Amino acid sequence: MITAMLKKTGFDAISSIGLTEHIGRANYPSYFSFLYEKLKPEGRLLNHTITRPEDAQPTHYRTSFINRYVFPDGELSGPGLIMSAFNDAGFEIRHEENLREHYALTLKHWCENLENHWDEAVAEAGLGTARVWRLYMAASRMGFDINTIQLHQMLGVKLGPRGKSGMPLRPNYQ
């Protein structure tokens, strides 16, 4: 089934939500090229990913709490590096935004929800796992608040014949 899915092409749109963090810098060119080839002309890719504020910062810490207990394969890059790989794969970047403050608020509500349903979470996942996720979400919220991590969303289009994007002149978000 997975092999059949990998062979499909001609998609109108693809979204990559929270995956780029697990791809690794070395694999960005092949990842974005792969997605580019899956789209039809004028098709769109939305890439939504947690980043570091700057490209020059270390990409990952193998001994950190997050790498040890939450995302053992995680590697965060700066938005510029990701945008360059996105662009180099052939996408015309149409929109980019940093949703850092929004994600801090999302994590605030997730933390509140976990506290409000603590006993259920412990029953479902176990005390150790619940504590790991409580700490991870609280620390991540602080990271977004103080700008040690960010959340970037990029929209790119695979241009059609004669450079047509298929995008409206002004977006209508209604």
Sorted by where each begins, the domain ranges of the chain are: 10-162
Q: In the structure encoding, which two tokens stand for residue 123, read together?
A: 């029953």
The CA distance from 152 to 48, in Å, is 6
The chain-wide mean pLDDT, for the chain, equals 91
pLDDT at 1: 47
Give me the percent of the chain exceeding a pLDDT of 90: 78
For the chain, give the percent of residues with pLDDT over 70.
92
CATH architecture of 10-162: 3-Layer(aba) Sandwich (3.40)
The pTM score is 0.87
The DSSP annotation for the chain comes to -HHHHHH---EEEEEEES-HHHH-GGGHHHHHHHHHHHEEEEEEEEEEEEE-SSTTS-S--TTSHIIIII-TT-----HHHHHHHHHHTTPEEEEEEE-HHHHHHHHHHHHHHHHHTHHHHHHHH-HHHHHHHHHHHHHHHHHHHTTSSEEEEEEEE---GGG-----SS----
- In angstroms, the CA 170 to CA 55 distance is 30
Q: For the segment 57-74, what is each residue's pLDDT rounded down to a tens digit?
A: 665 556 677 777 788 878
pLDDT of residue 56: 79
